[in-house]
Amino acid sequence: MNSYKEKLFKGITYTASLLAIVILMAIIYSLFREGLPLFKVTRLSDFIFGSAWYPTHAIPEFGALTLIAGTLSVTLGALIIAVPLGLGSAVFISEIASPRLREIAKPLIELLAGIPSVVYGLFGMAFLAPLIRDWFNLDTGLNVLSTSIILGIMIVPIIASMSEDALSNVPKNIREASLALGATRMESITRTIIPAAKSGILGSVLMGFGRAIGETMVVLMVAGGSAQIPGSIFDSIRPLTSTIAAEMGETVMGDLHYRSLFALAILLFLLTFITNLFTELVFLKRSKR
């Protein structure tokens, strides 16, 4: 009787954990099932390298290059803002701040990381975009610059928190050895501690990158939405995620437009999947050492 209960319980936990695999498979399956039929009418190379996205024209065109460029431009912009700020804050919290300040700063960062992205989107749309429009005399403030700033602020807590973990995990004897050799505090930070924590820091940047690529609400509200390859930081753009979110409501289930949005989702999924794989490898390398 007892061994029957043992087996049953083990079986239940076993089944539950299989569910994670099943769900991932189901997600991949549903994306491909709905998205792949697009390539019966559009060639894969036209989809990836074509720059005309006119899904609703009489002769529709599905070139996603402008959308990919949109995603990459704001993601890059966000990293340019967030990496120095995040890393600087991490160094400050881990190496410079007093223990008391650190106790307060850590949970505060954790709180900030939990703020819903739609709230950032609202702030960008109603406050930052008009400000940028007036400062630079533009027609609209909904552009690469505003989106990068908002996305950047959004991922600073992620980069700061994970880099700080990596920095504080550097063994005490390495720090002390460096200081004992006569290095100043900054010398030992830049030449000893940061190199020792480099895989963790890289991992945090990749994590922020993945988050920025997949972020939907901020780009949907702040990026402006015109499908073009940005020529300057004041151009309005339309990334992959916001195209899916903005256009899905207009489609009829099963039509080409609907399929093309799932094809975009496949692209997005692969992008984040590869990023995650990279992140994993970086972390794996660290834990093996």
Would you count residue 14 as binding another protein (CB under 8 A)? Answer: yes
DSSP H/E element including 98: none
Which residues ranging from 197 to 216 are in contact with another protein (CB under 8 A)? 210, 213-216
Minimum gap (Å) between residue 187 Cβ and another protein = 7
Minimum gap (Å) between residue 92 Cβ and another protein = 4
Minimum gap (Å) between residue 96 Cβ and another protein = 6
State the CB neighbour count (10 A cutoff) for residue 69.
18
Alpha-carbon torsion, ordered 269, 271, 274, 279, to 10 deg: -100
Q: Annotate each residue in 107-136 with x if it binds another protein (CB under 8 A) or - if it does not, as one string.
A: x--xxx-xxxxxxxxxx-xxx---------
Which residues ranging from 223 to 262 are in contact with another protein (CB under 8 A)? 241, 244-245, 248-249, 253, 261-262
Which residues ranging from 181 to 200 are in contact with another protein (CB under 8 A)? 184-187, 189-190
Q: Which stretch binds another protein (CB under 8 A): 53-61, 172-180, 230-238, 263-271?
A: 263-271
Minimum gap (Å) between residue 83 Cβ and another protein = 10
Identify which of residues 162 and 265 has a Cβ nearer to another protein in the complex: 265
**Cβ atoms of residues 178 and 191 within 8 Å:** yes
Task: Return d(Cα 156, Cα 246) in angstroms, integer.
Answer: 26
Task: Return d(Cα 214, Cα 275) in angstroms, integer.
Answer: 11
* R_g of the chain, CA atoms, integer Å: 23
Q: Cβ neighbours of residue 51 under 8 Å, at least 6 residues apart?
A: 63, 65, 66, 229
Tokens in use for 169?
Answer: 């995990």
Tell how many helices (H) and how many strands (E) occur in the chain: 14, 2
Identify which of residues 138 and 245 has a Cβ nearer to another protein in the complex: 245
Task: Return d(Cα 218, Cα 115) in angstroms, integer.
Answer: 12
**Could you tell me how many residues make up the chain?**
289
Interface pick for another protein out of 221, 237, 263, 282 (rule CB under 8 A):
221
Minimum gap (Å) between residue 58 Cβ and another protein = 26
Report the candidate in 95, 96, 100, 104 with the shortest Cα–Cα distance to residue 172.
95
Q: Annotate each residue in 39-68 with x if it binds another protein (CB under 8 A) or - if it does not, as one string.
A: ------------------------------
Interface pick for another protein out of 19, 41, 44, 281 (rule CB under 8 A):
19
- Three-state secondary structure call for residue 146: helix
Would you count residue 93 as binding another protein (CB under 8 A)? Answer: yes
Which residues ranging from 153 to 172 are in contact with another protein (CB under 8 A)? 153, 156, 160
# chain residues binding another protein, by CB under 8 A = 84
Identify which of residues 182 and 231 has a Cβ nearer to another protein in the complex: 182
Identify which of residues 66 and 163 has a Cβ nearer to another protein in the complex: 163
Q: Cβ neighbours of residue 157 under 8 Å, at least 6 residues apart?
A: 86, 109, 110, 112, 113
